[in-house]
Amino acid sequence: MSAAWPLTGREDELRFIERALRRADGPHGVVLAGAAGVGKTRLAREALSLASRRGAAVRWVPATGPRGYYRWARSPGC
């Protein structure tokens, strides 16, 4: 099966992410946190896909590196 399973039961979270990313007062991002296996990656992929289809510039940043790995995210102009 090549199609992804539909996202179910996370409509409220997806709407929250969508509203956060559509705010007009500057660039925004979303951090998803939670225990392993609760569906963070699936929710993130769905939100990324939705934003991309609506023409937003999207960037996937995995949170699985050493602390210094994320320094670029705080750099001016990023």
Note whether 5 and 34 are within 8 A (CB). no
pTM for the model: 0.67
- Judge whether 29 lies within some domain: yes
- Judge whether 47 lies within some domain: yes
- Judge whether 3 lies within some domain: no
**Structural domain containing residue 65:** 11-74
**DSSP string for 16-76:** HHHHHHH-SSS--------STTSSHHHHHHHHHHHHHHTT-------S-S-GGGGGGGGST
The tens-digit pLDDT sequence of the chain (78 residues) is 445 678 888 999 999 988 888 777 766 778 888 888 888 888 988 988 888 888 887 888 776 655 555 554 444 444
Looking at the structure of the chain, the number of domains it has is 1
